[in-house]
Amino acid sequence: MEILTITTQPFSDQRPGTSGLRKKVRIFQAPHYLENFVQSIFDTQTDLKGGVLVLGGDGRYYNRQAIQIIIRMAAANGVAKVIVGQGGLLSTPAASCLIRKYQTNGGIILSASHNPGGPDGDFGIKFNTANGGPAPEGVTEAIFAHTRKITEYRTLAFDAIDLDTIGSLSLGQTGVEVIDPVADYAALMEDLFDFDRIRQLFDSGLFSMRFDAMHAITGPYAKRILEEMLGAEPGTVINGDPKEDFGGGHPDPNLVHAHEVVTLTSGRNAVDFAAASDGDGDRNMILGRNFFVTPSDSLAVMAANAHHIKGYAGGINGVARSMPTSQAVDRVAEELGLDCYETPTGWKFFGNLLDAKRITLCGEESFGTGSDHVREKDGLWAVLFWLNLLAVRKMSVKEIVQEHWWRFGRNFYTRYDYEGIDTEAANGLMTHLQARLADLPGTTLDGYIVDYADNFAYTDPVDGSVSKNQGVRIGFTDGSRIVYRLSGTGTAGATLRVYLEAYESDTEKQGRKTAEVMHPLVEIAIGIAEIVSRTGRKEPTVIT
């Protein structure tokens, strides 16, 4: 079988962001673009030669074609075996599960997560290392550096292989194993959670739920686990068939984009529990009857109740959250005597802490929670955690969260997203904020006294690596916070995220509306950053 060496030239825009390389589909379809990045993975990650690679994606447009390209390149670069999900499908947490279970040398995951799909949508690729987690910055920087000097890539002259039939085949000296994308992940979930108790919950006839897969990757996983293994009624999973364009929707599990399932939690026939996941299955939204659980609260409730869950009944090592995530879990950790870490945004920062067994649970405010079972955030895992908790506690979602607030206090929390703004304007706004930081401590802003103002920097307690400029923080003496970040997950323009948090220990005041509590902080945040004048946006794109 002939190995072809193709001459190419570097592209200047292949630096991975917080979740890999993401661009518009048409950019990845350009001659040599995908191939350059993939060859840079093989050239820098030398363990892949003679090793085993996991490969799959979320099924978005261009996924199948990209899978075929990568398999041919893997064979040409001496990979001994490629494990690929049937149809080219693998959720991101399932890919991490496979890497860890079969002790492979890494994995390539094709996804743009919660970004829209289709011919005019987004596409993405990232490399996960042998621990199952996203490549750390040292690896991504090495890959990027190689993309800047690449002159050739290697591939095979070979027709497309059959991705739809489970089984093994050969491509030259490389074995290709097409596997059931759900089976290994489902087995792991059954080990972690008390499926018998959850079955009893569904069998009682007193409990109803809906899971919105948003026409994304978790549809087959949720149908297998929720409806087939746990006995939820048929139709519990809605929008369960993965589509290349996510059915024309935006596969982001928040109150705006997952409005269909949100409406099912209110009214006379409201369900007791609802959830949604995103494009690649690593995010989650949790809802009760007429009740939304913020991702920050969800992580805190999990930490406080982990002892009720089979896989965590022996205790947890510690917890971690990304810096913009609310400090709700910090209060749990303090009371329970657990170590608590604050990291930059990006799941890769949790990897060292998990591998060193310093933490068991971790989460980000952007609808991501997870544990040491894999090295990715995991949307369906979070849903099963909540189902298991509901089955054990025999309380509603609202009752569990309110009880948590009464015990630990409530961290009111909201996020304003300004999507697709001019990149130069966004950078100018952050530069403006940075210039003001030194003068802010001790000043009063509309009655709030500034305690600290900085640009968050993180020193990894395991390997000592330092990550600077991870987001501007303005903290007030009453525990309130404002955080500004430019997101690394978009593909067009810049996304400015503004995070706001306020703490309330008085149980009589914990039932106030979030918008009411946050209004003064919102006004401060918009004013001090000059958002309207600098971006031209009078309103955010999304409020969560």
- d(C-alpha 386, C-alpha 308), whole Å: 11
Please report which helix (H) or strand (E) contains residue 413, including its range.
strand 410-421
3-state DSSP call for residue 156? strand
- d(C-alpha 20, C-alpha 137), whole Å: 11
DSSP 8-state symbol, 41: H
- Could you give the C-alpha distances from 185 to 82, 105, 313, 533, in angstroms and in order? 18, 19, 21, 48
Specify which residues 411 forms β-bridges with. 503
Q: Answer yes or no: are the C-beta atoms of 163 and 63 closer than 8 Å.
A: no
Angle at 494 between CA 36 and CA 522, to 5 degrees: 150
Q: Answer yes or no: are the C-beta atoms of 474 and 341 closer than 8 Å.
A: no
Q: Which residues contact 173 (CB under 8 A, 6 or more apart)?
A: 75, 78, 80
Active site residues: 113
Number of helical H runs and strand E runs in the chain? 17, 27
Judge residue 269's burial from the number of C-beta atoms within 10 Å of its C-beta, 0-12 exposed, 13-18 middle, 19 or more buried: exposed
